[in-house]
Amino acid sequence: MLALIFMLTLAFAFAFQVIPPILTFVVSSLGLTHGQAGALMSLFALPGIFVSIPGGILAKAYGTKHVGIFSLALVFAGTILSGLADGFMLLAFGRVIAGIGAMTIAIIAPQALSSWFEGKELGMAMGVFHAALPLAVIVAHNSFGRLAESLGWRMPLFISAGYSLIALVVFSLFYPQEMDERDWTKPALAENLLAIKTLNTPMWLVALIWLFYNASAISYTTFASDYYIAEGYSVGFSGFLTSLFMLASLFVGPLIGSFIDRVGRELYFIAAGAVSMAIWIFLVPRVGWNPLILGVLIGFSSVMIPTPVFSTIPRFLSHEESGLGFGLASTLSNIGILVGPFVVGIVYDKLQQHQTGFDLMALLALVVAGLAIFLQRFTTEKTML
């Protein structure tokens, strides 16, 4: 089942990350501003603010299979629509449609894993789950830019749509129906949404950590390639440098999950990773170091955050509340994704330089560290944080 959830999550990740590697080509072809370019990432996350919590509730009521199939269909339709666009409005509309499906996947996947895996297996499962986005980033940034350069910027969008269609067919055929039919109930959406205010303070702090991390990380992966191209590097090498942000996550993420299963201390990982991530991002436009070195350092810093964040949620909440907790974290992360790239793009349009944008990314990462340190006040020996 872990493999099916990984495949499902990869469809979300490819649809999400298809834009950054081709950003320079889309901007020049359609005459977009950097603010509009950032908005293409932000608009993808916009539906997540509204559908993440209802998506988790609906999956619990009707089953992951049914909600997953519908979500994959939306990802396919929206990505195809974006690939056919000849202007910003249609491109943006397609991103919103794909975002509705993708952001629903982002919440139902970890929710399903938290019900299948418990205790010492949960960290490992979350580590494998979180390897999907890094894999998509690595593949996209090392191939989609080159494809856009040779075959046009639409081709990567069509390839991403093709993968989501394959995932739709495989998921429909092989996800076990009986796993979803055991406890179907009519979803009490209003009642469950009102229950958000009953979630404890630590859960809200975890969700805020996820918000600021995504605001920083997605801003970086959105504009790093554009920065490196502006600095004179080739499209292919610029994409590779950006993909280093996620390279460590692909291999180290599951190992961190297994280590956390044994020793806990999730918040120490989050704080240390966020501080070092802020330092290296701040230095990118300021020092003459080999960009490969900074890319690797940023990647190894960032990998210390996602798996620990998602491993803390089931520890703070009961099994019945976990879906709501994952929904809250996803909702707030989408606010971060919505605001981060858009603001960084606007800053570039105003100042015509990337340095201030990198400063903002570093500041957001420092906020993550501060929240993790503050969250320590609410932990006990029992939570093993």
Q: pLDDT tens-digit profile of 76-90?
A: 999 999 999 999 999
Q: What is the pLDDT of residue 131?
A: 78
- The mean-pLDDT minimum among 77-86, 153-162, 283-292 falls in 283-292
End-to-end CA, the chain: 28
> Measuring CA to CA, how many Å separate 371 from each of 297, 350, 368?
22, 30, 5
> What local confidence, expressed as pLDDT, does residue 384 receive?
44
Q: Distance between CA atoms of 191 and 104, rounded to whole angstroms?
A: 19
CA distance 44 to 19: 10
Which residues make Cβ contacts (< 8 Å) with residue 166, sequence separation at least 6?
A: none
Comparing 258 with 332, which gets the higher pLDDT? Answer: 332
Q: Which class for 155: exposed (0-12), middle (13-18), buried (19 or more C-beta within 10 A)? A: middle
Domains and their CATH numbers in the chain: 2-175+192-378 (1.20.1250.20)
State the pLDDT at residue 202: 87
Higher pLDDT pick, 79 / 4? 79
